[in-house]
Structure 1
Amino acid sequence: MRLQNHPIPKPELTLEYQSKAISTDETRVSEDLNLATGELAGHGKGISNNPLTLVVRKNGVPDLTMVDLPGITRVPIHGQHENIYDQIKDMIMEYITPKESIIPNVIAASIDFSTCESIRMSQCVDKTGQRTLAAVTKADKNPEGLLEKVTADDVNIGLGYVCVRNRIGDESYEEARMEEAKLFESNQHLSKIGKSIVGIPVLARKLVQIQAESISKRVPEMVKKINKKLNDNLSELQTLPKSMTSVADAMTAFMRVIGLAKESLRKILLTGEFDEYPDEKKMHCTARMVEMLDNYSNQLHQCAESDPSKDFLMEEIKSTGGVKVGRTPELSASCCFSGHLAEKSERDILHSN
């Protein structure tokens, strides 16, 4: 529910869900909420994580946004999924885990606060209790001992307690507040509780104050994150090409791309500079070519035919009718020339690439 204080003569209520915005009013809002809930979660006892937002623009209401989560169900009833508890728990944890969230626990005055499941969940994500508030309902049903419960604070509710009385039957808001004020003034047990922690109006003011303080604490960090995101987007925007409005602009941009490509190829193939592609080994052409030629040279010198202690090219000499066996000055010169030619070819290949 999103409350917005607005000086308009007539309240404006809108239900928002699944990209829909349905206008309603105070007389039929309950019926419209039930219809929307049935559309989202079905008409059985199931639940849905799709949000249903009630926007209320009205003069005099506090500027406040609240999320009402399903009550915790441990044992599924007829028509509910077997894992209904896990579904509800996951939904609750999704909303209360963010550090920006304030966690108001709505608990009945009759239960033992130390065994309350919602407080236990709150303590999982807010161990110090700095984000946890307790709204104690049904104070009129169980007034005895309530003062001791809210003052002892055995479960570490950091933001404190507020005791309230629920509306009964068809009471209007004004009638309910009058009955509530009368209850906490006249009841022998409840009248001892301090006025600063009783009543729906006190709860509303406290929530608004807590929300304002939370926002003020988060603003510097939010501004920092926004500025960082803005600077990142501006930097990314500057790297994009400028808008082209003519053929000349397009040709200029095209020639610039061609020039950058040629420069990259020149660095890679001629000078062996790979700073543009430090991790792309496949782009290091010259270095890979040198490595391949070195490997070939090593293999060539390590093969049996290159052993100087053995006869060299004997079969070739015999086939040409030679009469001398072994190395000759002419053959040695020919081998040296072949070696120089291979080295020159290697240098030419490197230079051409």
Structure 2
Amino acid sequence: MAEEPVPQASTSNAAPLGHSVIPIVNKLQDTFAQLGSQSTIELPQVAVVGSQSSGKSSVLEALVGRDFLPRGSDICTRRPLVLQLLQTKRKAGGTEEEYGEFLHLPGKRFFDFNDIRREIQAETDREVGGNKGVSDKQIRLKIFSPNVLDITLVDLPGITKVPVGDQPSDIEARIRTMIMSYIKLPSCLILAVTPANSDLANSDALQIAGNADPDGYRTIGVITKLDIMDRGTDARNFLLGKVIPLRLGYVGVVNRSQEDIMKNRSIKDALVAEEEFFRSRPVYNDLADRCGVPQLAKKLNQILIRHIKTLLPGLKSRISTALVSVAKEHASYGEVTESKAGQGALLLNILSKYSEAFSSMIEGKNEEMSTSELSGGARIHYIFQNIFVKSLEEVDPCEDLTDDDIRTAIQNATGPKSALFVPEVPFELLVRRQIARLLDPSLQCARFIYDELIKMSHRCMVNEQQRFPVLRKRMDEVIGNFLREGLQPSETMIGHIIEMEMDYINTSHTKFIGGSKAVEMALQQVKSSRVAAPIPRQKDSLDSEKAPTSESRLKSRAILARPVNGVVPEQGVRPVVDIERSASSGSTTGSAWGISSIFGGSDNRMSAKENSTSRPFSEPVQSIEHAVSMIHLREYANELFFQTPV
């Protein structure tokens, strides 16, 4: 990959260009940092990445020309440091004024760079503690000096392998994630710092930069510690880009050693020593534009200015779009009123709009209604007509109610004696128990309606309420309490309705099946069964031993043929007149059959005794035909006893 040529320019020529665009970007960065919205618009910047103790801090101090960064053998940069270098003019008489300003301490100037170092350490400790903790919260520092070029750099924590102090076990992954959050943006240039005394192919800085910028269009390589390479080796091929090519190329620098720092060797002396080092090495004589901190400063300034100019049209377009959007939102909030009368009118207007929005949402006239789900009045209608009805239909009226339960309830209601008719008490008892099962679906429906009303109250917040977060919060509380207070009486009323239904059973309802209706339905079932399987007629040649039995069957059919409670007699049964004729032509046994068959003659008593001994009292009647016949026999007995003779 061929290196992209960088136009050469002196410091004097680069400064006016830097003054034209870089300070503007710096102001935008400060503004976004104060608003906490720096992620909304990607601004051009240079991120410095490298492994721990690779020489990043020394490079930055060399670019500034002053000692101001925390130094040490372990991790020093524990928070991202946004360093803005701003070139100032020299005062009359050639005096220089250099100072720094922190964004978190506006208006305070630090003329002593040792104080800047102490403030960086103190601010870092305030955020992450003093035991090697790491945070992604930025520290923003501006340095004003006539000896710098306009450059904005972000010094990121060095990549470390083993956690120390309060660092978590996944410290390497966290630092890499923090670095990637900066360098993955297309607007960010990458300054990859690699020491020359390690294999370039194993460089952590180039490896992580390659992940974010695989084509190398945004990466600038910096090779440090050239003076401590093994004897007989050099970094010429590295600087020429023959090992790992980069479009923006490499720059080699010589930093101060730890011994120089301990002896308080100034950066100016270090820059002189660096220049002498490259001049005394013939292998670097023809690479003057790729060696030294001054060349690195010029290259960074030129590349950053060119990068800003490339991104400036798109940046301007995004800012203009954001301004239009914000202006539109601001206009929707209305004008600010200072007088109490105006504030009262504004509050009344907000409440009126809220009420109208709530009503329109219920009626389905809301302009911003959802097209993906039911809401408002349609949702309430769906709850009543679908969810509630379905839950009622799923209630089985005979669930947990067996024939044994019914039989036991009837027997318990008869007391110490047998009842001729089924009492009403067990019916009411069993029905009340089943009606009570309708309470839970009804309460669930009320809660569904409450939840939907709460959702509607949140959706009806008008734009004016965005200006008054306290008012919006208070309205949420008041409306929530109002709906919550209405839920309890609703549930109480539902419980009362269920209790009323349990206390009064409307037997006059058209769909209520009473005793006569039940008998009619039973007769219809008997009729349908007899039509399917007709009973053969008795032969006239029956012998005398079977005559009483035949006569009893005829009497039973005659009684069944009598209309009872409006029930039409069976068509297949002989008329009563024919039965009476056949009975009168017989012996007197037939005339005595009616009373004895009801109250039990000698034969009937014997059969009753046999039946009582053969099966228990609680055994259900197996034949519906026999049960219906007994009902008609009882009604026939009443007619015999209470009718007046003509």
The answer on whether the counterparts of 1:165 and 1:199 sit within 8 Å (CA) in structure 2 is yes
The answer on whether the counterparts of 2:219 and 2:247 sit within 8 Å (CA) in structure 1 is yes
Cα distance 1:157–1:243, how it changes in 2: closer, same or farther (>3 A)? same
Deviation at 1:64, TM superposition (A): 1.2
1:216-253 Cα deviation digits (max 9, x unpaired): 12211111111111211222233334455685997699
1:102 match: secondary structure: strand
> RMSD in angstroms over aligned alpha carbons?
4.4
1:2 match: secondary structure: strand
Deviation at 1:95, TM superposition (A): 2.3
CA–CA distance in 1 between the matches of 2:140 and 2:294?
A: 22
1:198-222 Cα deviation digits (max 9, x unpaired): 1100101111111111211221111
5 Å-filtered alignment, 1:103-122, equals: 103-122=190-209
Report the equivalent of 2:321: 228
Report the equivalent of 2:236: 147
CA–CA distance in 1 between the matches of 2:186 and 2:138?
A: 20
Letter in 1 for 2:272: M
1:80-105 Cα deviation digits (max 9, x unpaired): 44322223222222222222111101
1:66 match: secondary structure: strand
CA–CA distance in 1 between the matches of 2:184 and 2:376?
A: 47
CA–CA distance in 2 between the matches of 1:51 and 1:163?
A: 28
The answer on whether the counterparts of 1:96 and 1:125 sit within 8 Å (CA) in structure 2 is yes
Letter in 2 for 1:2: Q
Letter in 1 for 2:282: Q
Report the equivalent of 2:183: 96
Cα distance 1:22–1:74, how it changes in 2: closer, same or farther (>3 A)? farther
Deviation at 1:111, TM superposition (A): 1.7
**Is 1:46 aligned with 2:128?**
no
**Is 1:59 aligned with 2:143?**
no
Equivalent residue in structure 2 for 1:181, among 257, 275, 293: 275
Report the equivalent of 2:290: 197
The answer on whether the counterparts of 1:15 and 1:24 sit within 8 Å (CA) in structure 2 is no
The answer on whether the counterparts of 1:109 and 1:136 sit within 8 Å (CA) in structure 2 is yes
Report the equivalent of 2:156: 69
**Is 1:131 aligned with 2:225?**
no
Cα distance 1:255–1:138, how it changes in 2: closer, same or farther (>3 A)? closer
CA–CA distance in 2 between the matches of 1:265 and 1:116?
A: 66
Equivalent residue in structure 2 for 1:213, among 306, 317, 326: 306
Equivalent residue in structure 1 for 2:255, among 166, 185, 190: 166
Bigger shift: residues 162-171 or 199-208 = 162-171
The answer on whether the counterparts of 1:267 and 1:274 sit within 8 Å (CA) in structure 2 is yes
The answer on whether the counterparts of 2:238 and 2:244 sit within 8 Å (CA) in structure 1 is no
Cα distance 1:161–1:281, how it changes in 2: closer, same or farther (>3 A)? closer
CA–CA distance in 2 between the matches of 1:240 and 1:49?
A: 35
CA–CA distance in 2 between the matches of 1:84 and 1:248?
A: 56
Report the equivalent of 2:377: 283
5 Å-filtered alignment, 1:3-14, equals: 3-7=85-89, 9-14=96-101
The answer on whether the counterparts of 2:101 and 2:107 sit within 8 Å (CA) in structure 1 is no
CA–CA distance in 2 between the matches of 1:267 and 1:90?
A: 45
The answer on whether the counterparts of 1:12 and 1:25 sit within 8 Å (CA) in structure 2 is yes
Q: Which has the higher contact order (CA 8 A, sep 6+)?
A: 2
Cα distance 1:110–1:253, how it changes in 2: closer, same or farther (>3 A)? closer
TM-score calculated relative to the size of structure 2: 0.40
CA–CA distance in 1 between the matches of 2:132 and 2:343?
A: 64
| Higher alpha-carbon Rg | 2
CA–CA distance in 2 between the matches of 1:52 and 1:262?
A: 49
Deviation at 1:132, TM superposition (A): 0.7
5 Å-filtered alignment, 1:24-39, equals: 24-39=111-126
Deviation at 1:129, TM superposition (A): 0.9
TM-score calculated relative to the size of structure 1: 0.68
5 Å-filtered alignment, 1:320-331, equals: none
1:61 match: secondary structure: coil
Unaligned runs of 5+ in 2: 1-82, 390-509, 512-646
Report the equivalent of 1:156: 245
CA–CA distance in 2 between the matches of 1:35 and 1:247?
A: 50
Deviation at 1:22, TM superposition (A): 6.9
Cα distance 1:275–1:34, how it changes in 2: closer, same or farther (>3 A)? closer
1:162 match: secondary structure: strand
